[in-house]
Amino acid sequence: MKVNLGITIAFFCLCEMAQAEDYWKDPPDETSCGDLYSSTYGPDFRFARVMGPKEKRVYFLQDSNGCPKAGESKCRWEEFSPSSYLVPGDRVLVSRKYESWICGWRVTPEGDEGGWLLVKDLEFIEPDLNPSLEKWIGTWRYNYNVLKITLNKETQGLRVVGKAIYRSPRGDYWGKIDAAGEPKGTELRPLEKISEGYCQVRFRLIDDSLIVSDNSSCGGPNVRFDGLYQKENKAVLSDTTGKRKS
């Protein structure tokens, strides 16, 4: 579809609980770590804090060219992003293990970072495995994306309404979701039957962060709901969604 400058193209998905092919059924390669899919695959999510003396630096390691086994000096992401390290006290989301390493992910003002981290450098924080509905409810933001989670009074479950935006020089592409379901532990998976053009989204609540991943079928080109969302104190969702507040 041709998009003129300044034009916004909208795509809408009404997602419901249904039986569908599981988009997340295929695990990533065991050494894959660094993108959201590989960093958030599997059930064992938790946060961890870096341990050690204040001058310590813990580097995110790449997942290619023999890494992370090739060693820190060859595998650091530092070549591409000098800030890709953690210091004692920093918190990072972790998931899958591979030998002596664990896959980590964090969001910074400069952007997202991920990669392999040595297990021995981290102290793990066990999550609340059965968060209350109140912990889900609110407005969550990640970059230009906004999700509003409310109580579904009919089912006593949850409803998720949201927008995702991809901004390009040729115009804005965006997608919407309107999803309902009941959380099971830390996971909420409202589904629409999977076929070409159908949306599938998974939400996972780990302490104060909401991990969201989709199947790339929830909006226009390059539109994704994927991200590590943080809750706002004031729940607002309007047609200005995606514009940062001053």
**125: its two tokens:** 């924080």
Name the residue with tokens 């918190």: 91
Distance CA 24, CA 93 (A): 19
User: Which position has the higher pLDDT, 149 or 11?
Assistant: 149
Given a contact cutoff of 8 angstroms between Cβ atoms, the answer to whether 11 and 219 are in contact is: yes
**pLDDT of 59-68, one tens digit each?**
999 888 899 9
Q: What is the mean pLDDT of the chain?
A: 78
Q: Which of 101, 107, 100, 65 is nearest to 84 (CA)?
A: 107
pTM: 0.77
**pLDDT of 195-210, one tens digit each?**
345 788 889 999 999 9
What confidence category does residue 79 fall into, taking pLDDT thresholds of 50, 70 and 90? low
